[in-house]
Chains A and B, each alone.
Chain A
Amino acid sequence: GAVVSQHPSRVICKSGTSVKIECRSLDFQATTMFWYRQFPKQSLMLMATSNEGSKATYEQGVEKDKFLINHASLTLSTLTVTSAHPEDSSFYICSARDLQGAAYEQYFGPGTRLTVT
């Protein structure tokens, strides 16, 4: 149980275009989903917290107009990187918290490697 999927697993896009990444909880309902960014050989940095039916809350320094988050249902959150630039190239990982589970546990998706050329 507690499986989280992400799509796509890898994406290459040209500078200036937008990319959408999907995060799905497959066998549970997620009240909250989190979006992280991980640069090579670095830790996971929380970008934003996404709650179903409400606006996402962004961490300090993360541009909300550049990283659009939509949490339309209890099983799906999307992250859209708008007007992507090479410096946005990174590993994007989502995680989800089970509505019925422990208050703290997060289940991670497999990640999406974004390369902006």
Chain B
Amino acid sequence: GENVEQHPSTLSVQEGDSAVIKCTYSDSASNYFPWYKQELGKRPQLIIDIRSNVGEKKDQRIAVTLNKTAKHFSLHITETQPEDSAVYFCAASIRNQGAQKLVFGQGTRLTINP
């Protein structure tokens, strides 16, 4: 079945620096790639997503890039702030048993050091 690998599992950066999280997926039919931010005990919140017909998308300090040939996509956060500290999950869509589902990566715990 579909597999999504996410790296690194933990990431610590200085406030103001950039953070990059990378994911790879296995199903070449995947065509939707969201990124979620989850704070402790809270629901995952969609921060950005990208569809397979584009290679890059940006929203203020957050950007996502997609390489369909290599089957990997990355999250870039610039000018990091302490409130960016959280666990980030990537996901890839799959079609299974007639339904569109999401397969999640293992998560990256991002810590922004003041």
In the complex, the answer to whether A93 meets B89 with C-beta atoms within 8 Å is no
Q: How many residues of A contact B (CB 8 A)?
A: 22
Is the contact region of chain A dominated by helix, strand, or loop, or is it mixed?
A: strand
Chain A hits for B93, CB < 8 A: 104
The contact of B99 among A42, A43, A45, A57, by CB within 8 Å, is A57
Q: Mark A61-84, 1 if CB is under 8 A from B, else 0.
A: 000000000000000000000000
Residue in B43, B45, B49, B102 with the greatest tally of chain A CB atoms within 10 Å:
B43
Q: Is the CB of B43 within 8 A of A111?
A: yes
Q: List chain B residues, Cβ under 8 A from A104.
A: 32, 34, 49, 51, 93, 100, 102
Secondary structure call for the B interface: strand
Tell whether B60 is near chain A: CB-to-CB under 8 Å: no
CA distance A113 to B43 in the complex (A): 11
A46-B43 contact given A104-B32, A104-B93, A105-B49, CB 8 Å threshold: no
The complex places the Cα of A44 from the Cα of B102 at a distance, in Å, of 10
The yes or no answer to B82 lying at the interface (CB within 8 A) is no
- CB under 8 Å from chain B, chain A span 71-117: 91, 93, 97, 103-106, 108-111, 113
Contacts of A34 in B (CB 8 A): 101-102
CA distance A42 to B101 in the complex (A): 19
Bound complex: CA of A105 vs CA of B49, how far in Å? 9
Whether A108 lies near B44 (C-beta < 8 A) is: yes
**Chain B residues in 8 Å Cβ range of A113:** 41
With a cutoff of 8 Å between Cβ atoms, the chain A residues found around residue B43 in the complex are: 93, 108-111
A25 at the interface (CB under 8 A from B): no
Give the complex CA separation of A20 and B100 in angstroms.
26
Residue of A nearest to B36 (CB): A108
Q: A110-B42, A113-B41 are in contact. Are A43 and B100 (CB under 8 A)?
A: no
B46 CB within 8 Å of chain A: yes
Q: Write the residues of chain B forming the contact surface with A, with a CB cutoff of 8 angstroms.
A: 32, 34, 36, 41-46, 49, 51, 89, 93, 97-107
Task: Contacts A43-B89, A105-B34 known; list 10 others, CB within 8 Å.
Answer: A42-B107, A43-B104, A43-B106, A57-B99, A91-B41, A104-B51, A104-B93, A105-B46, A108-B36, A108-B43
